[in-house]
């Protein structure tokens, strides 16, 4: 057994103090033989500091494709030869998607747009869409619209958006290799405004963007410093036509080690399974992740790709005796 796990047990499980960057790297470098014990420890930490409930969320793309940014993993950039075309979702379809999401038992519905930041048209669409959803559907509305001005932050608060997603995507040292049209620091600036507004901060990223294990540890430590309410963990699903289209997918055991390491870095956060888990981990890995630190899931489809049927994840949660977090508990 690795000495790092003994230290993590005392520091994180007993005292609730997350691992630092050097300790996270030790966990990421721990041998395969220690993986079962590592996952059990991460699960114990999640159960002690977060409880057994799992937060369920659905996401939908309000504005797809045609993005002016060059995030090298993204099929929605207008700068790459991706087959994804630009399309807008109308308000009745947005409300219907929220209803379908609520019907799964989800408490969160996140509206996403592929933009650098919202313009007036998008903010008007958001205002109309959020109002319609709040009038017809019993669900919390979150948003992910790129970089914001202070005025836009204030507008989203006024609309009733309770959580804002803005992923840092990867660590500060690797970010310039992944995105060149804006900086990591610009993203951090939006996150700071969101936090100060009172909206909950949702910030995570994608593993498998060519980062080293040390950079993966750096990323977890930077997220821990941000202390977001929620951290969505995506695994790269290489998209045709993007600069990272030929990047290998993260190996399953490395993905599980990363999940556990992120949990040990952030014992109290909502750690959400997001995109790419199907190809990186498959069905068994999804189960292992839920027993290794994860306490939230995106159910159903993603923005441009498809996920497992919501019923498959909900049945798995039932098998694992993990209750779905109720709406009343989130308000």
Strand partners, 270: 230
Candidate list 14, 150, 225, 305; residue touching another protein; CB under 8 A: 305
Closer by beta carbon to another protein, 81 or else 331: 81
Candidate list 2, 100, 197, 330; residue touching another protein; CB under 8 A: 100
Give every CB contact of residue 274 below 8 A, 6+ residues apart in sequence. 204, 232, 233, 234, 298, 302
**Distance in Å, CB of 143 to another protein, minimum:** 16
When asked if residue 64 is in the footprint of another protein (CB under 8 A), the reply is: yes
Give every CB contact of residue 210 below 8 A, 6+ residues apart in sequence. 174, 177, 178, 244, 247
Judged by phi (left if over 0) then psi (alpha if -120 to 50, else beta), residue 129 lies in alpha
Nearest Cα neighbor of 229 from 192, 255, 203 is 203
Task: Please state, in angstroms and rounded to a whole number, the distance separating the CA atoms of residues 33 and 220.
Answer: 23
| DSSP state at residue 169 | B
**Distance in Å, CB of 326 to another protein, minimum:** 19
Give every CB contact of residue 249 below 8 A, 6+ residues apart in sequence. 208, 235, 236, 237, 238, 276, 279, 280
CB 92 within 8 A of CB 136: no
Closer by beta carbon to another protein, 58 or else 285: 58
Candidate list 60, 145, 201, 258; residue touching another protein; CB under 8 A: 60
When asked if residue 310 is in the footprint of another protein (CB under 8 A), the reply is: yes
Taking the CA atoms of 147, 149, 151 and 157 in sequence, report the sign of the dihedral they define.
positive
* Binding region for another protein (CB under 8 A) out of 8-16, 145-153, 159-167, 299-307: 299-307
When asked if residue 87 is in the footprint of another protein (CB under 8 A), the reply is: yes
* Binding region for another protein (CB under 8 A) out of 10-18, 29-37, 160-168, 304-312: 304-312
Closer by beta carbon to another protein, 65 or else 228: 65
Closer by beta carbon to another protein, 226 or else 279: 279
Candidate list 300, 313, 314, 317; residue touching another protein; CB under 8 A: 300
Closer by beta carbon to another protein, 58 or else 267: 58
Candidate list 23, 77, 101, 295; residue touching another protein; CB under 8 A: 101
Task: Please state, in angstroms and rounded to a whole number, the distance separating the CA atoms of residues 240 and 314.
Answer: 31
Task: Please state, in angstroms and rounded to a whole number, the distance separating the CA atoms of residues 265 and 25.
Answer: 11
Candidate list 306, 321, 328, 331; residue touching another protein; CB under 8 A: 306
Closer by beta carbon to another protein, 93 or else 149: 93
**Distance in Å, CB of 89 to another protein, minimum:** 6
CB 23 within 8 A of CB 7: yes
Task: Please state, in angstroms and rounded to a whole number, the distance separating the CA atoms of residues 74 and 80.
Answer: 9
* Binding region for another protein (CB under 8 A) out of 122-130, 133-141, 247-255, 295-303: 295-303
Q: Footprint of another protein on this chain (CB under 8 A)?
A: 58-61, 64, 83-87, 89, 93, 96-97, 100-101, 104, 237, 240, 278-279, 299-307, 310
């Amino acid at each position: 057994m690795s000495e790092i796990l003994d230290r993590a047990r005392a520091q994180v499980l007993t005292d609730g103090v997350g691992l630092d960057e050097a300790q996270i790297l030790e966990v990421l470098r721990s041998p395969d033989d220690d993986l079962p014990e590592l996952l059990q420890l991460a699960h114990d930490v999640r159960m002690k500091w977060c409880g057994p409930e799992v937060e369920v969320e659905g996401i939908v793309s309000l504005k797809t494709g045609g993005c002016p940014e060059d995030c090298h993993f993204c099929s929605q950039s207008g700068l790459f030869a991706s087959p994804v075309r630009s399309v807008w979702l109308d308000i009745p379809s947005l409300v219907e998607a929220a209803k379908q999401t609520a019907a799964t038992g989800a408490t969160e519905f996140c509206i996403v747009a592929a933009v650098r930041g919202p313009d007036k048209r998008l903010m008007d669409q958001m205002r109309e869409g959020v109002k319609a959803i709040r009038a017809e559907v019993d669900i919390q509305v979150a948003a992910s619209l790129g970089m914001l001005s202070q005025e836009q932050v204030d507008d989203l608060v006024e609309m009733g958006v309770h959580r804002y997603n803005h992923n840092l995507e990867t660590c500060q040292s690797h970010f310039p290799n992944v995105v060149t049209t804006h900086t990591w620091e610009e993203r951090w600036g939006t996150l700071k405004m969101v936090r100060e507004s009172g909206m909950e901060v949702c910030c995570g990223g994608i593993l498998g963007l060519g980062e080293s294990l040390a950079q993966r540890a750096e990323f977890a430590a930077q997220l821990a410093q941000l202390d977001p309410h929620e951290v969505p963990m995506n695994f790269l699903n290489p998209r045709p036509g993007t600069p990272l289209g030929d990047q290998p997918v993260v190996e399953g055991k490395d993905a599980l080690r990363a999940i556990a390491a992120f949990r040990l870095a952030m014992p109290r956060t909502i750690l959400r399974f997001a995109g790419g888990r199907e190809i990186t981990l498959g069905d068994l890995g999804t189960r292992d992740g839920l027993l290794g630190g994860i306490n939230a899931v995106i159910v159903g489809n993603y923005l441009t790709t498809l996920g497992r049927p919501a019923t498959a994840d909900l049945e798995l949660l039932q098998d694992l005796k993990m209750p779905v977090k109720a709406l009343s508990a989130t308000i």
